[in-house]
């Protein structure tokens, strides 16, 4: 492993801490304090330390980190699909990885239920596993677990609380210029 890099960027849901590898692969991110965000990483991933940089300093490290900074800034400016292609890596079994891929396929400004997420990942009966994948997601909002809601459309849980989840959904809805839609039929 190598020393990880980190920065804190402004978003519509509040400050976003992003911890990434020098090549730009995001390993953990979130709307909590820096130290708490870093502690969510497995111990071996943070063994060589995490270096906190200002966003422009991080962008100067290389193309990968610059792309991450640019994507978060573009997302905050209303280009809500900007996070879709940022590379991420997080520990998890094959089905968790499939659930996280399915989350990334949900378009900004849309939501799906935990049931629809499980179906999109190929196991319609695995609703609890879908909820577990949301709870274990280390790279929100790059893997957009905020787009997962309860059946019936209720907001449901979010690791960082309902405020950031609502803020992200409202930001995406406003950027799409309409009402939040359910993507259940397409997921």
pLDDT tens readout for residues 64-108: 999 999 999 999 999 999 999 999 999 999 999 999 999 999 999
Write the burial class of residue 115 (CB in 10 Å: 0-12 exposed, 13-18 middle, 19+ buried): middle
Task: Say yes or no to pLDDT of 26 above 50.
Answer: yes
Task: Say yes or no to pLDDT of 130 above 60.
Answer: yes
pLDDT of residue 23: 97
- Report the phi/psi class of residue 109: left, alpha or beta, with left for phi > 0 and alpha for psi in -120 to 50: left
pLDDT of residue 187: 38
pLDDT tens readout for residues 150-174: 988 888 889 999 999 999 999 999 9
The torsion defined by the Cα of 19, 52, 32 and 156, in degrees rounded to 10, comes to -20
A 10 A CB-CB count for 174 gives 14
128 within 8 A of 118, measured Cβ to Cβ: no
CATH architecture of the domain 94-178 equals: Orthogonal Bundle (1.10)
pLDDT of residue 180: 53
pLDDT of residue 156: 86
Percent of the chain with pLDDT over 90: 88
pLDDT mean across residues, the chain: 93
Query: Can you list the positions of beta strands (E) in 10-109?
Result: 16-20, 26-30, 50-52
Determine if the peptide bond prior to 157 is cis (ω within 30°).
Answer: no
pLDDT of residue 32: 92
**Could you give the CA distance from residue 51 to residue 6 in angstroms, rounded to a whole number?**
6
**Can 145 be counted among the known catalytic residues?**
yes
Catalytic residue among 133, 134, 145, 148: 145
pLDDT of residue 185: 38
pLDDT of residue 4: 97
Task: Say yes or no to pLDDT of 22 above 80.
Answer: yes
pLDDT of residue 178: 61
Task: Say yes or no to pLDDT of 47 above 80.
Answer: yes
**Could you give the CA distance from residue 25 to residue 42 in angstroms, rounded to a whole number?**
16
Task: Say yes or no to pLDDT of 183 above 90.
Answer: no
- The residue that leads in pLDDT, 186 or 129, is 129
Mean pLDDT across the stretch 47-66?
Answer: 97
- Report the phi/psi class of residue 107: left, alpha or beta, with left for phi > 0 and alpha for psi in -120 to 50: beta
């Amino acid at each position: 492993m190598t020393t990880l890099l980190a920065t804190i960027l402004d978003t519509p849901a509040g400050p976003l801490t992003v911890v990434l590898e020098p090549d730009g692969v995001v390993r953990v991110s979130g709307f909590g304090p820096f130290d708490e965000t870093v502690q969510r990483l497995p111990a071996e991933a943070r063994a060589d330390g995490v270096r906190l940089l200002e966003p422009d300093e991080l962008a100067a490290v290389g193309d990968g980190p610059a792309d991450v900074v640019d994507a978060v800034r573009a997302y905050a400016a209303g280009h809500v699909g900007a996070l879709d292609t940022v590379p991420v890596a997080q520990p998890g079994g094959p089905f968790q990885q499939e659930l996280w891929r399915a989350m990334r396929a949900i378009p900004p400004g849309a939501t799906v239920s935990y049931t629809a997420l499980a179906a999109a990942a190929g196991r319609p009966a695995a609703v609890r596993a879908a909820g577990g994948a949301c709870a274990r997601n280390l790279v929100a909002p790059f893997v957009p677990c905020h787009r997962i809601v309860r059946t019936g459309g209720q907001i449901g849980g979010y690791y960082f609380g309902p405020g950031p989840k609502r803020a992200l959904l409202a930001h995406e809805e406003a950027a799409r210029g309409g009402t939040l839609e359910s993507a259940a039929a397409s997921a």
